[in-house]
Amino acid sequence: MRAVIQRVTQAQVEVDGEITGQIDNGLLVFLSVGQGDTEADVQFMADKLINLRIFSDENDKMNLSVRDIGGSILMISQFTLHGDCRKGRRPGFDQAADPDTARRLYELTVELVCQQQVQCQTGVFAAHMHVSSLNDGPVTFLLDSTRLF
């Protein structure tokens, strides 16, 4: 699994002109499921998202997690994070999981985050979405469950 994680002061996602998810302080997470990803990758990703200390403490050090600040997560499924642009001019998506597997593991990630008492809003899986955010910092991280980066 791969994720782009952005610390935000607000974010929202719209599908067909309707807001399907909206948060204030927290994390905007773009999540992609790759071929071979399993529930172990889901566990890793959910734990990281909840506990990654990227919010400032009283000394302005990144020392607090989204759980610590009582923040929320807006999680958006984005298979293009597994796009391969190394050859030619059109990305290849051979490394992305099939849609059924991707949906199941994406939804399981959302479920595990919610089970840890962190509010998690979502977009609509496989829909064309409009995502807007106010990045705080800006602070953006890349995460890969295989620890590629």
Reported pTM: 0.97
**pLDDT per residue as tens digits for the range 119-139:** 999 999 999 999 999 999 999
Structural domain span for residue 126: 2-144
Q: For residue 78, indicate whether it is catalytic.
A: yes
Q: For residue 38, indicate whether it is catalytic.
A: no
Catalytic residue among 35, 38, 80, 146: 80
Catalytic residue among 6, 12, 44, 78: 78
Bridge partners of 76, per DSSP, are 30
Bridge partners of 3, per DSSP, are 31, 143
Catalytic residue among 79, 109, 121, 122: 79
CA 108 to chain centre: 13
Pair of tokens at residue 142: 């890349």
Q: For residue 80, indicate whether it is catalytic.
A: yes
Bridge partners of 9, per DSSP, are none
- Residue 116 falls inside a structural domain: yes
Total domains in the fold of the chain: 1
**pLDDT per residue as tens digits for the range 45-59:** 999 999 999 999 999
CATH at residue 113: 3.50.80.10
- Residue 149 falls inside a structural domain: no
